[in-house]
Amino acid sequence: MKSKELCVYLERLRAARNISQEAFTDEVVSLRQYRRYLSGESDIPFQVIHQLTAKLSVKTDTLLRDFDYAKVIESDSIIKMYNAVVNYNFDEYTKLYNQIPLDHIIESNNRLLYQYSHILYQFFIKKLTKQETAQANIKLVNYPKVLNQQIITSIEMLILSSFLDFLDESHHEKVVEKIEEFIRNQSIMISDANEKIYIFVLAKLAKYVGIKDDFTNVIRYCNLGIEKNVESMSYYLMEYFYYYNALAYYNLKDYENYKKYLILCFNVLQFDANPKKIEKFTKLINGDFNIEFEDFVIEYYANRKDNKTNQ
């Protein structure tokens, strides 16, 4: 258990109960020392935790149990907030953002994702330029020093991958090299049980190398993402992996696999049943492959039926 995280949780409960910091710390610890606990400058002793918990009219063991549960809920909320941003669901993002004050976030990794999500939101609504967004993200992860760290968090890896969009090409090789290091040896990343971040980074890399016509690596990154999704029984970004694979195989003139992955993309889109997403991918596929996606699917299944009949 991290002392600072527990103090932030105590502070969240204190604020929710409308107890002033002065009243909360009275006869327990000086206000200055309490703020040192909050900032992480000092570790909070168990006896102080016990006394402060009593001020909240909660048993210490109950508070510690609820603290672990609160971290799980917090992580889920901030991941939802991030997903709302990247899916341009700004109403949902704003609702979640207003519900979660930055100074009440318990875990440092959640705080980092929260800040990154807000930077992306400001970029998408044009409050930040591309350059300003890059500089804000550089500050978040202390780039380029982060590239020399022996261990990295998944959120730091996520932010690093954003530099492929926001920094010029002179930085790309170093960023991809660090991410590749993680893919080869995931023990260098601090585990936070957030597999979706890993999958998102793979999708980002697949798109990046596809733009550079490196189709072999498109397939490699996509297959890693597909394998991870199958392992965790998830469909997260699966339509992108199938779409990118179809593009790669099409450019490699492997038309059998091109058709296979395009059909898999169609199936996932139908399963998700999101009209906006279906419309987006239909336009992409019609343009990229010079086909009518719906007609392609109908013809594919008609041919399969004919082949089975003739066997």
User: pLDDT digit string (tens) for 93-112?
Assistant: 999 999 888 888 888 888 99
pLDDT higher at 164 or 2:
164
DSSP code of residue 190: E
Q: Answer yes or no: are the C-beta atoms of 95 and 77 closer than 8 Å.
A: no
- CA-atom Rg of the chain in angstroms: 24
pLDDT at 311: 58
Listed in sequence order, the residues at least 6 apart from 31 whose beta carbon sits closer than 8 Å to its beta carbon are: 21, 22, 25
Question: What is the CA 310 to chain-centroid distance, rounded?
Answer: 48
pLDDT higher at 310 or 239:
239
Of 247, 212, 242, which is closest to residue 229 (Cα–Cα)? 242
164-198 CB burial, b ≥16 within 10 A, e <16: bebbeeebeeebbebbeebbeeeeebeeeebbbbb
Of 142, 167, 164, which is closest to residue 221 (Cα–Cα)? 164
| Residue 56 DSSP SS3 | coil
pLDDT at 188 over 60: no
pLDDT at 207 over 50: yes
**pLDDT tens by residue, 45-62:** 888 889 999 988 888 888
- Over pLDDT 70: what percentage of the chain? 94
- Give the least confident one: 78-87, 124-133, 252-261: 78-87
pLDDT at 224 over 90: yes
Q: How would residue 69 be classed by pLDDT, with cut points 50, 70 and 90?
A: confident
pLDDT at 189: 55
- HEC string of 191-234 equals CCCCHHHHHHHHHHHHHHHHHCCCHHHHHHHHHHHHHHHHHCCC
On average, the pLDDT of the chain sits at 90
What is the Cα–Cα distance from 31 to 119, expressed in whole angstroms? 33
Q: Which two tokens stand for residue 170?
A: 């002179």
pLDDT at 106: 86
pLDDT at 1: 45
Of 244, 243, 255, 254, which is closest to residue 303 (Cα–Cα)? 255
pLDDT at 183: 83
Q: How would residue 9 be classed by pLDDT, with cut points 50, 70 and 90?
A: confident
